Amino acid sequence: MAAINLTKGQRVEMGLQKAGIGLGWNPNTQASADPYDLDASAFLLGENGKLVSSDFFVFYNNPASPEGAVQSSGDNRDGEGDGDDETLFVNLSAVDPRVLEIIFVVTIHEADQRRQNFGQVRNAFIRIYDQSNNQEICKYELDEDFSTESAVEFGRLYRRGGAWKFEAIGRGHNGGLEGLLTQYS
């Protein structure tokens, strides 16, 4: 079980309107000849626990959900530089009413072919924060908590009583983004 770093979760759960999902990592040229290309993606699910439609899968080839409520900052392919290298911006007040929960995942692109996992990536993390005050709600250190894995379901935002709440999941996988897509389609 991975360590979960929950800080001031209760307060942030109330009235959370705009959230940022920040993914950061740094290159490690000693561990692999190929760059480490981590990707943050989102599945917007309806009442059956499946994607409302394929357009509601936000990833590097579909950088925004149809109603614009989830938008990607773009695909960073090497993690050069400090801070968040990829961000998913979520405007909860704009989410399509058919969407009941949003699952956030992080995967390593072509991890199997490149024989890569999170343990090899330097300073890899994923976090969720409240955009209104930059307060962090939850953060995983991917290289420590999921060292042998190449895909993690980070957490989910879900509707409850007219408000949105965040729940940390922290479930590692090795099936890549394709495996997760199969699960939620």
Given the rule CB under 5 A, which residues bind Ca ion?
26, 37, 39, 75-76, 79, 81, 85
12's tokens = 């942030």
- Residue 154 or 164 with smaller CB distance to Ca ion: 154
Distance CA 110, CA 173 (A): 14
State in angstroms the smallest separation of the CB of 87 from Ca ion.
11
State in angstroms the smallest separation of the CB of 124 from Ca ion.
9
State in angstroms the smallest separation of the CB of 80 from Ca ion.
6
State in angstroms the smallest separation of the CB of 115 from Ca ion.
18
State in angstroms the smallest separation of the CB of 171 from Ca ion.
20
State in angstroms the smallest separation of the CB of 143 from Ca ion.
12
- Residue 109 or 156 with smaller CB distance to Ca ion: 109
DSSP states of the chain? ----EE-SHHHHHTT--EEEEEEEEE--TTT-SS---EEEEEEEE-TTSSBSSGGGEEBTTB-B-TTSSEEE----SS--SSS-SEEEEEEGGGS-TT--EEEEEEEETTHHHHT--GGGSEEEEEEEEETTTTEEEEEEEHHHHTTT-SEEEEEEEEEETTEEEEEEEEEEESSHHHHHHHHH-
- Residue 13 or 75 with smaller CB distance to Ca ion: 75
- Residue 15 or 81 with smaller CB distance to Ca ion: 81
- How many CB atoms are located within 10 Å of the residue 170 CB? 18
- Residue 17 or 62 with smaller CB distance to Ca ion: 62
Distance CA 164, CA 10 (A): 12
- Residue 12 or 121 with smaller CB distance to Ca ion: 121
